[in-house]
Amino acid sequence: MDDYPLIANHGLIGDLQTAALVTTEGSIDWFCAPRFDSPSIFGALLDKGRGGHFRIRPATGAFDTKQMYLPDTAILITRYLSDAGVGEIYDFMPICGKVATDRHRLVRMMRCVRGEMTFEADLAPRFDYGRATHEADVSESGAVFRSAAGAMTVHGVREPEDERLAQVQTSDTGDVHMSLTLRAGQTRGLVLETGDSGSPREIRVAEVQQLLEETTLFWKSWLAHSTYTGRWRETLQRSAITLKLMTYAPTGGIVAAPTAGLPEQVGGERNWDYRFTWVRDASFSVFALLAMGFTEEAGDFTRWLLARVKAQAQAGDDVPLHLMYRVDGSSDLTEEILEHWEGYRGSYPVRIGNGAAGQLQLDIYGEAIDSVYYGVQRGLPSGHAGWSALLGLLDWLADHWDQPEAGIWETRGGDKDFTYGRVTRTTSRTSTTRSGTRAAMRYCAWSASRW
């Protein structure tokens, strides 16, 4: 189990629709597509042998590594230092934007900074959480991996004069191994593209360099909206980038985490799937982003939230708001166990979906209303339809605020009376009578609408 890298030894990259984790030794061991909550293509994070990975590392056995982000971006640099030379990998995902797509690109630029370095690349996808077999079709330009659960294409980044520098081998399991020797000043790489995009093509270095510049410009331009200028500016901006990476741009839903199955305690069984939008967690994320001046994400989430309230009212749901949703707003989060995976460092079982989705957790209403109120204070309009939906929510809450519930800890042993929930979903100044609660909450909503 020591072969598993520490959870802290990962960097996060993404394109605002999905994300990937890269270890400090250059292995992508978690990547789901086309969305955060889609089945994994690389899942070695949760099963080293059967999860799948995309690893690039020096061929030499002795090297040191350092990992950092290009300043003010989500572009990750993994640096290798050996006696023979110094090399780097630039990992990033070009931004997809607000239109949902099955096509996602993951760029891995290999550079030799000093001396000479031979890079080895291992492409071992395991579609559908490792439940689907695949075939590989390799050509001089790259490789296509196809399975019943999906497909992806890997394009080679090269220049015409060095096409023969790469050596490619294919295993019986459909995995691909490649080695490439670079000298100081040379840049080459691989571009992974999800979906069945046909045959791989040769990509020139200048094209990938252009993608790098465009992605850099996006992150720097987005970060320029920050209004925070205090002493912790660099730290807070890095945190803001991470929150942005966990935002699903097509809807505004913010996932609690881009991962599933990581244990609360190594070896334990509390291994939950967090690739969904918790009303509570997303509301806290909105607080943080708004406090730094990022209003677009808060506006998108508020619209997403109010759309959930409206949809459930129209459907005649028993509650006006669920605890969590998928990023597209659907609420089917049936929990299942991946029996064939051992879990991170043996932390079995690995769960996907989340059985807590059907729980009653009344504190989420206070946090949701707070996020809307905070947004209105900063000039984000909610409109008449939005406030009407909120008032319907408040009427329901005034009649049900004292029910037993699962609480913020999502206990699975039955509903209880939790102090945290009651404090959060009401206020200390509010009467505990139904009429008093309704009047006070309506006043809070009305006050917020007047800002």
pLDDT at residue 163 in the model:
54
Condensed to tens digits (0 to 9), the pLDDT of residues 257-272 reads: 999 999 999 999 999 9
pLDDT at residue 176 in the model:
96
Confidence of residue 109 (pLDDT cuts 50, 70, 90): very high
pLDDT for residue 162 is more than 90: no
What is the reported pTM?
0.91
263 vs 158, residue with greater confidence: 263
Among 249-253, 351-355, 418-422, 438-442, whose mean pLDDT is lowest? 438-442
Q: Which residue has the tokens 């929930």?
A: 421
Condensed to tens digits (0 to 9), the pLDDT of residues 325-344 reads: 999 999 999 999 999 999 99
pLDDT at residue 103 in the model:
95
Retrieve residue 285's tokens: 């994320």
What does the alpha-carbon distance between residue 100 and residue 80 come to, in Å, rounded to a whole number? 36
Condensed to tens digits (0 to 9), the pLDDT of residues 121-157 reads: 999 999 999 999 999 999 888 999 999 999 999 999 9
Condensed to tens digits (0 to 9), the pLDDT of residues 188-228 reads: 999 999 998 778 999 999 999 999 999 999 999 999 999 99
Distances 338 to 73, 108, 341 between C-alpha atoms, Å? 35, 30, 6
23 vs 399, residue with greater confidence: 23
Among 3-7, 27-31, 159-163, 177-181, whose mean pLDDT is lowest? 159-163
pLDDT for residue 427 is more than 60: no
384 vs 96, residue with greater confidence: 96
pLDDT for residue 430 is more than 60: no
Confidence of residue 432 (pLDDT cuts 50, 70, 90): very low
Query: Is the peptide bond prior to 349 cis by the omega test (within 30 degrees of 0)?
Result: yes
User: Rounded mean pLDDT of 70-81?
Assistant: 97
Query: Is the peptide bond prior to 34 cis by the omega test (within 30 degrees of 0)?
Result: yes
The DSSP-derived string for 190-233 is EEEEES---S---B-HHHHHHHHHHHHHHHHHHHTT----STTH
Confidence of residue 434 (pLDDT cuts 50, 70, 90): very low
Condensed to tens digits (0 to 9), the pLDDT of residues 296-315 reads: 999 999 889 989 998 988 88
Rounded to the nearest integer, the mean pLDDT of the chain is 90
Domains in the chain with CATH codes: 10-223 (2.70.98.10), 246-450 (no CATH)
What does the alpha-carbon distance between residue 325 and residue 35 come to, in Å, rounded to a whole number? 14
Percent of the chain residues past pLDDT 90, beyond the cut = 70
pLDDT for residue 284 is more than 90: yes
What does the alpha-carbon distance between residue 179 and residue 314 come to, in Å, rounded to a whole number? 58
| Angle CA 214–220–223, to nearest 5 | 140
368 vs 111, residue with greater confidence: 111
User: Rounded mean pLDDT of 24-48?
Assistant: 97
pLDDT at residue 431 in the model:
34
- Would you say 417 and 401 are in contact if contact means Cβ atoms under 8 Å apart? no
pLDDT for residue 165 is more than 70: no
Retrieve residue 232's tokens: 């912790």
Percent of the chain residues past pLDDT 70, beyond the cut = 92
